[in-house]
Structure 1
């Protein structure tokens, strides 16, 4: 069940990050993959900075979306 939860949260976070990063999206499927990876990056980033977001599904989606936005921003630098 944990894997399914991670995939669902990553998909939502990737879609949200694609909407937030205007011009930074790579299409729906790749944005979903980036959302899943973004969840990992977001958790690492916030743990390193000592920041804690909301608990539960909303906090997981926000963390994933922010992490995916960071990844989309960096990937956008290499895309040009």
Structure 2
């Protein structure tokens, strides 16, 4: 379980980073899937030992931007429809 892997400060940083990354996403049916993808990228970052809030947030933003660029977000699909 993730709570066994990271200390409380890192977990708090990860949570904030996830929320910040998700701010770049539209709301809708794909939001849960996209949130899981962003969370996975943040966990990968933390597993590499990069646990500062700024680095975790950067990883979350990068994942969200990649989702938006690849057309996997609801907003992107709506615009292209």
Rg larger in structure:
2
Relative to its length, the structure with more helix (as a share) is 1
TM-score, length basis structure 1: 0.49
TM-score, length basis structure 2: 0.49
